Copies of this chain bind each other. A is one copy, B any other.
Amino acid sequence: MEAPLNAVKPVAVPPRVPRSGQGSQRGAMEPVDRIEALPNSKAESILAAAKRTFLAAGFGAVSMDTIAREAGVSKATVYAHFAGKEELFGAVIGRECERYFARFSAGELDPRDVRASLTVLGRRFLELLLSPDSIALYRIILGEVTRFPSLGEVFWRAGPERQRVQIEAFLRSASASGTLALSDTWLAAEQFVSLVRGDIQLRHVLRLAADADRRGISAAVEGAVSTFMRAFECHTAPSRT
């Protein structure tokens, strides 16, 4: 029993990109929208560095020294803006939850072609779910929800719940128009999301699949939509096309 039963070896901290000072090469020829485009204040630099390092390595593996260095400021400046490491972490994660999941929308769908609309919807959902930052955020939140219990509700309300509401709204319209036979649209939305997600999200989170696998996304979405339509397509009144 002395030898470990499984060879599970850690890796070193993520390779660090040396930054010469604070200003990066951005900010010269980009449109000046000023709102969170580039870190124009020290607070934004700190938040950006904290986001980058936390999402890449997790809460426990990142030190305030690293964040300060990555942000191009001193550690005292970090503490001048944020009360501590945990407050900074909470601010970063809360903000990222809002930022990422605000991109999802169930709008601009053709209610006359439910299959095509569900395919578009599933693809939007899965592309958001498999984006590198979304995967990293998912890892962090699940790993730190024990230490930060409020993370669970922050994440749930910003992401899954909001998506579910939008998807259910579309399913309800499709059900009202007689194209789908749904007795419980809330459950149906959960099942549609579950079918689309399948195991591809978990495989990405576990680093068993690389990102940007467009064909994998298409195949997953089409398989899910096909099964969903088989289960709920209404055959009684095809409503003449």
A positions within 8 Å CB-CB of B: 1-2, 4-11, 41, 43-44, 47, 56-61, 81-82, 86-91, 93-95, 97-98, 138-156, 160, 184, 187, 190-191, 193-195, 197-199, 202-203, 205-208, 223-224, 227-228, 230-232
Contacts and interface: CB of A to CB of B under 8 A. Distances in A.
Contacts of A81: 1-2
Given A142-B138, A206-B153, A206-B155, A148 B94 contact: no
A60 B232 CA distance: 46
Nearest to A153: B208
Contacts of A156: 203, 206, 208
What is the total number of copies of this protein in its complex? 2
Nearest to A9: B150
23 contacts: A4-B87, A5-B94, A6-B150, A8-B89, A8-B91, A8-B148, A9-B148, A60-B60, A61-B147, A139-B145, A142-B142, A142-B205, A143-B143, A143-B144, A149-B207, A151-B206, A184-B223, A187-B223, A191-B223, A194-B194, A194-B198, A227-B231, A231-B231
